[in-house]
Amino acid sequence: MKPQRPGGGRARDGAPRPRLEKPPLRPQVTTLWDYPSQHYGSEQQGSRDYRGATPSYVIWNVIQRFTQPGEKVLDPFCGSGTTLDVCRDLGRTGLGFDLASTRPEIKVADARSLPLKARSVDLVFMDPPYADNLEYSDDERCIGKLAADGRYQRAMRLVLDECARVLRDQRMLAIYVCDVFKKGRGFWPLGFELFELAKKHFEPHDVIAVVRHNKTLEMGNYRKAADEGGFFLRGFNYLLLFRRR
């Protein structure tokens, strides 16, 4: 358990709510990762206001472990630019693309067709849409508009083909993804599905479970609905690690 300090607001009963310290930046060495804050250090990486933002501590661990200073790191779903900021901190060259650019360094491009040369990057980190779980963009090309009824899977197959094209041999692909459950609609094991799709071009390296710290997981109405409805709230994300053949 990471250290805590007071000052994190008050719980429903009026008692002070503990606030978690930001974690020290150190490599994770097991296949279960936990982190007590969205960002590390004294600044934000990316934006805490971006829906579906990736924890920068997770990205830091991947980039620190699998690349060297000066190497190129691609994020084809760059969102608010968290990967670019981590690359800056670690002395790597970040290449960020998204259909809905949130800052000048993020170039507008579809993850299925990137303006990059073949075998030109040293690591791909992606946190793709989890099917149509969240609304990201008005762009009709957005993969986040596709339901997990086969359309999302076909789009992600093309994304993985493109990752294989631009990634150098024997370098790493990291996919940060969560399964989706929607009451009344069903359950989609996106982690398992993307794992199988990636095996076309990549050798499995490892699978990490990353504890989710979504605030909705602690909300009484969500927990009550899950308990009474006989379903589970998403408690972890997959971090799927592959090596390019």
pLDDT exceeds cutoff 70 at 18: no
Q: What pLDDT, on a 0 to 100 scale, did the predictor assign at position 38? A: 86
pLDDT confidence tier of residue 23, bands split at 50, 70 and 90: low
pLDDT exceeds cutoff 60 at 12: no
pLDDT confidence tier of residue 222, bands split at 50, 70 and 90: confident
Judge whether 12 lies within some domain. no
Judge whether 7 lies within some domain. no
- The CA-based angle 73-76-78, given to 5 degrees, is 90
Q: Taking a C-beta distance cutoff of 8 angstroms, is the pair 85, 48 a contact?
A: no
Q: What pLDDT, on a 0 to 100 scale, did the predictor assign at position 178? A: 97
Can you give the length of the chain in residues?
A: 245
Closest CA to 19 of 11, 9, 8: 8
pLDDT confidence tier of residue 215, bands split at 50, 70 and 90: confident
Judge whether 10 lies within some domain. no
DSSP string for 144-202:
GG--TTTHHHHHHHHHHHHHHHHEEEEEEEEEEE--EEETTTEEE-HHHHHHHHHTTTE
Judge whether 45 lies within some domain. yes
Judge whether 14 lies within some domain. no
Q: What pLDDT, on a 0 to 100 scale, did the predictor assign at position 13? A: 43
Judge whether 69 lies within some domain. yes
Judge whether 215 lies within some domain. yes
Taking residues 117-138, report their average pLDDT. Answer: 95
The answer for 164, left when phi > 0, alpha when psi is -120 to 50, beta otherwise, is: alpha
Q: What pLDDT, on a 0 to 100 scale, did the predictor assign at position 4? A: 29
Taking residues 94-105, report their average pLDDT. Answer: 97
CATH of the domain at 120: 3.40.50.150
Q: What pLDDT, on a 0 to 100 scale, did the predictor assign at position 48? A: 85
Taking residues 78-107, report their average pLDDT. Answer: 97
The total domain count for the chain is: 1
Taking residues 144-165, report their average pLDDT. Answer: 97
Taking residues 227-238, report their average pLDDT. Answer: 94
Relative to beta strand 167-177, strand 121-126 is parallel
Quote the domain boundaries for residue 232. Answer: 25-244
- How many Cα atoms sit within 13 Å of 168 on the Cβ side? 11
Judge whether 209 lies within some domain. yes
Closest CA to 175 of 149, 196, 154: 196
Percent share of the chain, pLDDT over 90: 76
> Average pLDDT of the chain?
90
